[in-house]
Structure 1
């Protein structure tokens, strides 16, 4: 039996909606508030223990059915020649174990639809377009007033409100701010069928990788070194991305270039990272996901760490006699794994900026994935 009866989750994206599922699985009555009316984004990938978290949440089969499972012969993590497309490195090795499930890539809005429906089935109350006005943490509960005029008191408030978390600023006013990682991320859902020679390509301009999704799109992720933080306009993102494509002559990149036009929607953002030290909770308020530990996409594990947060939170409140015991147990299980992902991702970005040989990046990734293969 869970040590709490009620919980409020602020933020209904990857960390938040799945935390609601994990808590509801333990009999907790959960409310979720989410300001965004519709989910946005490109693609998510879940591998290793993060894929097992989907199993624990009861949604792996649905995600696999709508996504792109990793199949024998896939070259999506390989490193290829930007000139010819030939494989020059097969990419990092990932551990396996009895009962392991294949990694899966999934269109983000589809993933959030699946999670939302799973939460609905468990009785979670999801309120979209609703925010909070005030939060008062007390000895007997967290009292919250909402933007729609309602109020509520909960045993636990889970803040999953992203890298720009306002609750983090309120609870930990002296906490570190997100730090620029020295690179620009550009993502594109290119329309059309599969493109041959999936993998990662690099030139003097930057690097990009791609894989096909069943929604009839090719997910393209690009990374470009950026000397200092600045926001890019839509036109600047397009110009930068076009220059990257034009710097490569491999057939696959030429095919992608032919699909790019003035109406193509590109998402361009500077990479930032954050890791709260020590405890991510104070009183009855806990931060999870990007609110506590945001990272760049170099390991492809940001979403996976959010899923693990969700599952471990559910397990912790089920196993502990009191909420403080549960939150302490949660931190003991989460901090070192998350720190490994953040530190490795930041390190990989710096290696790219220093033009380290690809084999060094692959070796660091392989070592980190081996550690993450241990149960969470």
Structure 2
């Protein structure tokens, strides 16, 4: 019986977890390392999963748990700052007609579901561990880890996020760039009657929105121009978000009442990243935010990362030759889909920053989301 190929996955977020689950299912030996000691410690408040993300989660075998844990819906409301609904738009079912258009859920719950699937897959998992060095030759990669161990792998998958140390270690110099916007996020109880995402444009922020994440919870967010992080002490986070949110009507007064604990409020800049040319060097390949990142204006960050893992796993398990041609094919297949989403996500924010009033926002969103209905 032949020895299975060995893969090291660096990073235990959505992309790394998905790759691990799929490769273990195919019989490969997979080690996953995660820098945090607590795998779920900073999973965040909430997440909007479009249908193309749900399609991959179904492939991972976790769709039933996602469905039971989250809140499915099929439309988005556009409102004035005072809460008046101007328009309700039906969401495009990017995962196909047999899946909801959108599921909102608590991000820690999504992470827990994926962690459980990784554990059940039989992968070796080491927490609080990083890759200290990578030495490649024509057959594989020797990796020394910060826990003092060393391993030899046929492939290393870098899923270590926007600030990927692996990306830099293999000589890819592309770095994330701020887009000029930032977002405040918080999880709160769900006001009665909230059954979809509503977005208010205008007021003191560019966008004020919320998304139901279960029968009892939502996550709410407010988008503004980015500010120097050093000028906003963490202990003031609740005050800052409450100040912005208090200008909005409709369900916002009830939401704002719950923005009291600064440790529950997350402040993040919007960044843009797109590695061009290839997403690999030798036997080290990038997936997810390590290769691309965009503002959440189309709610496609997790979806694109999950798709990366799905496509790479398909190619790896279908080929005997893990070579430059295979990894370049992975890049070409993904870049044609990822680039339009990154560019559209950035453009939507830029129109707001520039105060463009006649932008074809519905057209851009419609074209982009229709493209995502196709299989990746």
Q: State the alpha-carbon separation in 2 of the partners of residues 97 and 10 from structure 1.
A: 28
Residue 30 (structure 1) shift: 0.5
Match of 2:366 in 1: 366
Q: Which moved more, 1:7-16 or 1:213-222?
A: 213-222
Is this contact kept in 1: 2:186–2:259, CA < 8 A? no
Per-residue Cα deviation, 1:80-123 (whole angstroms, up to 9, x for no partner): 1211x222122464146865311322211111111121122221
Match of 2:302 in 1: 303
Match of 1:283 in 2: 282
Residue 273 (structure 1) shift: 1.1
Distance 1:361 1:99, change over 3 A: closer
Instruction: Confirm whether residue 117 of structure 1 aligns to residue 116 of structure 2.
Output: yes
Residue 193 (structure 1) shift: 5.2
Residue 236 (structure 1) shift: 5.1
Q: State the alpha-carbon separation in 2 of the partners of residues 93 and 216 from structure 1.
A: 22
Secondary structure of the structure 1 residue equivalent to 2:129: coil
TM-score, with structure 2 as normaliser:
0.91
Match of 2:188 in 1: 190
> After TM superposition, where is structure 1 displaced by more than 4 Å over at least 4 residues in a row?
95-99, 192-195, 228-231
Aligned length: 367
Distance 1:359 1:81, change over 3 A: farther
1:1-376 map, 5 Å: 5-36=5-36, 37-39=38-40, 40=42, 41-70=44-73, 75=75, 77-83=76-82, 85-91=83-89, 93-95=91-93, 100-102=98-100, 103-173=102-172, 175-191=173-189, 194=192, 196=194, 198-206=197-205, 207-214=207-214, 216-226=216-226, 230-231=229-230, 232-235=232-235, 237-248=237-248, 250-262=249-261, 265-324=264-323, 325-357=325-357, 360-376=360-376
Q: State the alpha-carbon separation in 2 of the partners of residues 150 and 97 from structure 1.
A: 41
Q: State the alpha-carbon separation in 2 of the partners of residues 94 and 358 from structure 1.
A: 23
Residue 345 (structure 1) shift: 0.6
Is this contact kept in 2: 1:190–1:220, CA < 8 A? yes
Is this contact kept in 1: 2:7–2:30, CA < 8 A? yes
Q: Which moved more, 1:103-112 or 1:93-102?
A: 93-102
Residue 29 (structure 1) shift: 0.8
Is this contact kept in 2: 1:178–1:274, CA < 8 A? yes
Is this contact kept in 1: 2:94–2:370, CA < 8 A? no
Secondary structure of the structure 1 residue equivalent to 2:297: coil
Q: State the alpha-carbon separation in 2 of the partners of residues 3 and 194 from structure 1.
A: 56
Distance 1:53 1:312, change over 3 A: same
Residue 144 (structure 1) shift: 0.9
Distance 1:327 1:21, change over 3 A: same
Secondary structure of the structure 2 residue equivalent to 1:323: coil
Q: State the alpha-carbon separation in 1 of the partners of residues 179 and 95 from structure 2.
A: 33
TM-score, with structure 1 as normaliser:
0.91
Residue 262 (structure 1) shift: 4.5
| Unpaired stretches in structure 1, ≥5 consecutive residues | none
Secondary structure of the structure 2 residue equivalent to 1:369: helix
Residue 321 (structure 1) shift: 2.6
Q: State the alpha-carbon separation in 2 of the partners of residues 91 and 192 from structure 1.
A: 21
Is this contact kept in 2: 1:229–1:270, CA < 8 A? no
Q: State the alpha-carbon separation in 1 of the partners of residues 251 and 182 from structure 2.
A: 22
Per-residue Cα deviation, 1:41-87 (whole angstroms, up to 9, x for no partner): 122222132211111111111111111122xxx55x2111211x222
Per-residue Cα deviation, 1:107-153 (whole angstroms, up to 9, x for no partner): 11111111121122221111111122221112221111112222110
- RCO higher in structure (CA 8 A, sep ≥6): 1
